[in-house]
A and B are shown apart, each in its own frame.
Chain A
Amino acid sequence: GAGVSQTPSNKVTEKGKYVELRCDPISGHTALYWYRQSLGQGPEFLIYFQGTGAADDSGLPNDRFFAVRPEGSVSTLKIQRTERGDSAVYLCASSEVGDTQYFGPGTRLTVL
C-alpha cells in the first residue's frame, strides 16, 4: 500500500516568508508525528497528533511554528517569518496508536 507522502520534496524560500509543508499519512493511521532533522543529527521531535488534536506539541521551537490536522488525516506544518536557522529536513511519520512509526521521505526546507 501507499506509504507516507510529503510535499513538496524541496522548498526554497526567503527569510521572513511563510511556508506550509504537507504530510499525507498512511490511510487509517490515527497518530501523526512531525520531526525536524539538521545535517548530521538525528530527527528532533516537534509535535504529535492523535486524531485531530495535538497530543504533544512540546517540541515546537517557538510560536512561529504551528501544525494542524483538521480531519484527522492530512497534516500541514506551518512556519511563519522563516529564519535561516529553520533550514532542515522536515520529516513526517504516522502510526497506529502505540505502534511502529512509518516515515515519509521528508521535505528539505532551505531558507535563504
Chain B
Amino acid sequence: DAKTTQPNSMESNEEEPVHLPCNHSTISGTDYIHWYRQLPSQGPEYVIHGLTSNVNNRMASLAIAEDRKSSTLILHRATLRDAAVYYCILNTGGFKTIFGAGTRLFVKA
C-alpha cells in the first residue's frame, strides 16, 4: 500500500490560510488522494479528495502536484474549530485504507 508523509504538527493563526502538505511519492495511477480530519473525541470526517486536478469544496481546497507525488490541503481561513488532526491517505476503490499519524493543526486566537 502506498504511504503518505505528513508533518507531525503545524500551527496557524485564526483567520489566516493554512497549507497542510502531504508527500506520496509512491502513489499509483489509480490512487485517489483523500483528506480526512479528526476533531477531539470524534471519528474522522471527510474533507476532500481528488485524483489529478485541483479540487474545491465548501470546507477546503486540494492542490495536487503535476507529478501527483505531493498534495496540499488548503484551509482558506482557519478558525478555532479547524483545530484537529488532518490525515492524507491514498485510496484505490475505497477498500483497505491506511491512515498515517496525520498532522495535528493548532489554531491560535
Contacts and interface: CB of A to CB of B under 8 A. Distances in A.
Given A42-B101, A42-B102, A56 B42 contact: no
B68 interface: no
A25 B17 CA distance: 35
Contacts, number: 55
Interface string A42-66: 1111001000000110110000000
Interface in A93-108: 93, 95, 97-106
A97 B43 contact: no
A93 B96 CA distance: 12
Interface in B70-105: 85, 87, 93-102
A95 B97 CA distance: 12
Interface range on chain A (Cβ under 8 Å from partner)? 20 to 34
Contact of A93 (B43, B85, B100): B43
A43 B85 CA distance: 11
Contacts of B93: 97-98
B99 A58 contact: no
8 contacts: A40-B101, A45-B97, A56-B96, A91-B44, A99-B94, A101-B44, A102-B45, A105-B42
Interface of B: 34, 36, 41-46, 49, 85, 87, 93-102
